[in-house]
Structure 1
Amino acid sequence: TVGTASPMDRDLYGLMEEWAHIKYEVPDKNEQEQQMGALMSKASTVTKTYHERAEPYIWEAIITSTQAGIVGGLGALGYAKDAKKILEQAEAINPRALDGAIYTSLGALYYQVPGWPIGFGDDEKARAYLERARTMSPDDIDSNYFYGEFLIDQGEYAKAIAVLEHALAAPDRPNRPIADAGRRAEIRQSIAMAKKKL
């Protein structure tokens, strides 16, 4: 439980909770961008405090890549590059941290960012990272969600539906109700979209 958690876990839980609130409960895009920007600064402070641990880097990267998604377009590229760099730092500390979340996040970045000459996007790398994340955490809601999204992006709709349905069946995460509800809504939306494409 959060009450008996270490100071780092408490700080990370604060970031996770705020991230879920901004991502799923703040409807206004400008407001979202402003709040996520402030959360990026908080996350950076947490990372500096626990710089010998991979977990804060992972959450700083998740928050930074979420900001890339909110900003969109070419403005997102700087954030995406920063997130990639932070994830690589996390990987150097502990590649297995948070059940393979580094590879889920790297995989998502590699398929969402445009390829050369604009960005570092690379579908082959994305597939390799996302498959590695699923091997490390086969029943995780996020590893399955991002792999399913990637498969939709690749036009592999039947496989995507199976993976996304597996994501939907993932158990609830303790103390993450907003994130779980928001992610499940995204998964249902993606399944419906993939079914239309079949």
Structure 2
Amino acid sequence: MSGTILATPGYAASIDPAVNTLQQQWAKARYQTPKEQRQDALETLSKQAAALTAQHPDSAEALTWEGIILSTLAGEKGGFSALSLVKKARQQLLKAETIKPDALQGSIFTSLGSLYYQVPGWPLAFGDNKKARQYLEKGLKINPQGIDANYFYGDFLYQRGEYKKAEITLQKALKAPPRTGRALADSGRRKEIELLLKKVKSNF
């Protein structure tokens, strides 16, 4: 599992200040925290997210961000130690889907899709490329211009060897409109898109 696991799904700032704080702290941990300190920062943030969802178990937004944070932490840890984290992330995202599937501009679907193509398949975990495509396309249907929805779908296509379609999707991601209150996340994501585009183009 790579550090790109995110489930991130980006999205406009939440109206809930507590969820907005999670968003901002996630971006700081993901894009500004030194590599050697990143895991600890995400561990701390995952505890804050768990506390928030314990207080608000019916908040799809809080559950989604707990899933995103756990997914990112799993990407940092890697290996077998990450499996319990991605399973918990999927559990929270699936719960969010039952509450408010279109929350955070489709980020539930994009996050689930990113998990399904980045984690191992059975018997180790639940990786499933068919489900990944279905969820990623659902996310795009809700947020067709979104930077994260297009980035993760583009990465999925690259992993599947669909290079031309991946390039088109990633170029679209680069042109995504800025998200309110998400300047750091947008900047970090664009750098990831540019790096991935170089890999895609090397296959032409």
For the residues of structure 1 that align with 2:58 and 2:194, how far apart are their CA atoms?
38
- Name the residue aligned to 1:26: 33
1:9 matched to 2:44:
no
State the Cα distance separating 1:18 from its structure 2 match: 0.7
Q: What is the alpha-carbon distance in structure 1 between the residues aligned to residue 101 and residue 180 of structure 2?
A: 23
Match of 2:190 in 1: 184
Structure 1 residue 105 corresponds to structure 2 residue 111: yes
The match for 1:53 is 59
1:17 partner amino acid: Q
Structure 1 unaligned residues grouped into runs of 5+: none
Q: How far apart, CA to CA, are the structure 2 residues paired with 1:98 and 1:15? A: 13
Name structure 2 gaps, 5 residues minimum.
1-12
Q: Sequence identity of aligned pairs in percent? A: 46
CA deviation after TM superposition for structure 1 residue 48, in Å:
2.1
Give the aligned CA root-mean-square deviation in angstroms. Answer: 1.3
What amino acid maps onto 1:11 in structure 2? A
TM-score norm. by structure 2 comes to 0.91
Kindly state the Cα deviation for residue 173 of structure 1 after the two structures are TM-superposed: 0.7
For 2:120 and 2:59, how far apart are their aligned partners in 1? 30
The number of residues matched between the two structures is 192
Q: TM-score, normalised by structure 1?
A: 0.94
2:164 — aligned with what? 158
Distance 2:34 2:200 in 1: 25
Residue 67 of structure 1, aligned match among 69, 73, 79: 73
Runs of 4+ more than 3 Å apart: none
More helix by share: 1
Instruction: Show CA shifts across 1:85-120 (max 9, x none).
Output: 000110111111111111100000000001111111
Q: Distance in 1 between matches of 2:32 and 2:51?
A: 24
Q: Report how far residue 50 of structure 1 moved.
A: 2.3
- The answer to whether residue 49 in structure 2 is matched with residue 43 in structure 1 is yes
